[in-house]
Amino acid sequence: MQVGHGIVSANPQQDPTNADPTAPIESTLAAVTTALVDIEATIHFGPPKTKASVRSVPVPSFVCDALSELAAMSEHQPDELVFRSPEGRPIRPSLFRNRVWDPAVRRADLAPLRIHDLRHTAVSLWIANGANPKQVATLAGHTSVAVVLDRYGHLYPQHDLDLRSAMESQNNRRPAK
């Protein structure tokens, strides 16, 4: 399945030995290889903005499970967009936002959550789960670790305490004189 509505598409791998398109998605990596752009009300597929934007991103198993359930419920084929028009075509970002995203955000009482906020949430979760700045830069498609540290450095304060503790324990291992 391609997870995209005007931002990027990702193709979680299905088991190549199973020809059933409704089989569970097994891979935990999504290859980001294509960008969808809206140019003068027409959707175009093309390469992502930078070389760093072409990447593999880990996908938690619960997301793969949800995509598998969606595929089974809606008869999605593996190469189809998850968010699409009734005819199966890509949805313009503004239409998706107005018709799907904003009503869902209001129902969930999460306003004013933007689609792009999900990217920041992913980065925050990677950091909270121990990803170092280089890993975050690679996963987020940033060309530089400096971008990560400038934008998300405030999320690393615990790392200073962890470093101090590690250095103190290293010092405590020194032989007594």
User: 3 with 82, same domain?
Assistant: yes
Dump the DSSP string for 76-112.
--TTSBSSB-TTSPBPPHHHHIIIIIHHHHHHTT-TT
What is the chain's mean pLDDT, rounded? 79
End of a domain among 81, 112, 143?
112
Residue type, 158: Q
User: 139 with 54, same domain?
Assistant: no
pTM: 0.69
Q: Domain span at residue 165?
A: 116-177
End of a domain among 95, 112, 129?
112
Q: What is the count of structural domains for the chain?
A: 2
User: 2 with 51, same domain?
Assistant: yes
**Could you tell me which residue, 172 or 152, shows the higher pLDDT?**
152
User: 155 with 86, same domain?
Assistant: no
Q: Are the beta carbons of 139 and 57 closer than 8 angstroms?
A: yes
End of a domain among 64, 84, 112?
112
pLDDT tens-digit profile of 42-79?
888 888 888 888 988 888 888 888 887 887 777 767 66
